[in-house]
């Protein structure tokens, strides 16, 4: 029931369906409070208008994967992050770092950065040519179906499990299914993948205009491997909440697999935070 314009409160009986394994109510217009007594193993409430004090409810005390991101909940100053609960942007405090990471504790920007480079799904690497040297920070932490990782001045928020890959636990990193050409950048040797929504965010940035450059390559579905030729990856790209790429297909944009494609776009930072969201609309 994802992204089907559901509105109103969540019916209480939903939380009593003992055989329900996955509950995906994400990206709707649901309102009201959550009073669940238990949570299905995978519970996605992402992108709604839910509110109230969810912190004291019983279903947060389970070992289920629960995504509460992009809602308007009230959190106490003593709330703590949990490895299986995603609270990114789940607070009614919308316009400060507490609203961004409500259970991360105080975040104080002692300085502000102007640039940031991340090797999505890979290790630290240094790219050097005749005119510049760029260090890309590692993004190789393991994740789960509802997870928020944050580091010194940036982080990621992941939502969704893979229902059709028959792997337990899910694998969120991929490597090329075929050999890359010799001139391919080290940036494309690994990648992070997500089943539903993947957000990269930077905080403690200087306010102002930014040039955002996104590097893509389809490395999982290869034209050289017969069984994977029909594989497709289509998603939307939002920067600062604005839809800039709709139904983006890496393979079509690059005219084939294992070929790089770079998308450059402009963004304005006004609250020291930059957000890039990759979202499969279904």
Per-residue pLDDT reduced to its tens digit, 97-124: 778 888 887 778 889 999 999 999 999 9
Cα(6)–Cα(44) distance, integer angstroms? 14
CA atoms within 13 A of residue 83's CA, in its CB half-sphere: 5
CATH of 118-279, one of 2.60.120, 2.60.40, 2.40.40, 1.20.1280: 2.60.120
Q: What is the pLDDT of residues 158-192, one digit of tens each?
A: 999 887 666 677 888 888 877 777 667 888 889 99
What pLDDT was estimated at residue 216? 94
Q: Is the pLDDT of residue 226 over 50?
A: no
Q: Is the pLDDT of residue 228 over 50?
A: no
Q: Is the pLDDT of residue 282 over 90?
A: no
What pLDDT was estimated at residue 199? 97
What pLDDT was estimated at residue 233? 81
The phi, psi pair for 224, rounded to 5°, reads -85, -15
Between 77 and 201, the more confident residue is 201
Cα(230)–Cα(69) distance, integer angstroms? 32
Cα(60)–Cα(51) distance, integer angstroms? 15
203: pLDDT confidence band, cut at 50, 70 and 90?
A: very high
Cα(282)–Cα(58) distance, integer angstroms? 31
Could you tell me if 172 and 156 are in contact, meaning their C-beta atoms sit under 8 angstroms apart? no
Q: Tell me the CA distances in angstroms from 231 to 121, 135, 223, 228, 256, one per residue in order.
A: 20, 32, 9, 5, 12
Q: Write down how long the chain is.
A: 282
**15-19, 31-35, 91-95: which has the minimum mean pLDDT?**
91-95
Q: Average pLDDT in the 224-229 region?
A: 50
Domain boundaries, the chain: 7-100, 118-279
Cα(161)–Cα(194) distance, integer angstroms? 8
227: pLDDT confidence band, cut at 50, 70 and 90?
A: very low
Could you tell me if 104 and 112 are in contact, meaning their C-beta atoms sit under 8 angstroms apart? no
122, two tokens: 């890979």
What pLDDT was estimated at residue 108? 82
């Amino acid at each position: 029931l994802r992204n089907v314009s559901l509105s109103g409160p969540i019916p209480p009986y939903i939380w009593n369906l003992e055989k329900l394994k996955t509950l995906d109510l994400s990206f709707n217009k649901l309102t009201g409070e959550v009073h669940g007594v238990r949570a299905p193993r995978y519970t996605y409430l992402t992108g709604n208008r839910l509110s109230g004090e969810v912190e004291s409810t019983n279903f947060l005390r389970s070992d289920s994967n629960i995504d509460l991101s992009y809602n308007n909940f009230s959190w106490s100053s003593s709330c703590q992050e949990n490895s299986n609960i995603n609270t990114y942007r789940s607070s009614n405090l919308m316009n400060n770092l507490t609203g961004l990471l409500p259970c991360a504790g105080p975040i104080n920007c002692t300085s502000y950065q102007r640039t940031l480079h991340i090797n999505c799904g890979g290790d630290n690497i240094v790219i050097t040519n005749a005119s510049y040297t760029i260090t890309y920070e590692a993004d190789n932490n393991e994740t789960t179906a509802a997870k928020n990782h944050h580091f010194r001045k940036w982080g990621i928020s992941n939502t969704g499990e893979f229902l059709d890959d028959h792997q337990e636990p899910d694998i969120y990193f991929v490597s090329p299914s075929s050999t890359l050409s010799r001139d391919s950048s080290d940036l494309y040797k690994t990648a992070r993948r997500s089943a539903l929504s993947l957000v990269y965010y930077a905080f403690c940035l200087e306010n102002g205009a930014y040039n955002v450059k996104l590097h893509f390559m389809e490395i999982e579905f290869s034209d050289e491997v017969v069984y994977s030729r029909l594989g497709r990856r289509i998603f939307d790209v939002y920067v600062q909440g604005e839809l800039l790429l709709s139904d983006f297909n890496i393979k079509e944009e690059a005219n084939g697999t294992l070929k790089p494609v770079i998308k450059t776009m402009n963004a304005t930072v006004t609250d020291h935070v930059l957000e890039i969201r990759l979202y499969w609309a279904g």
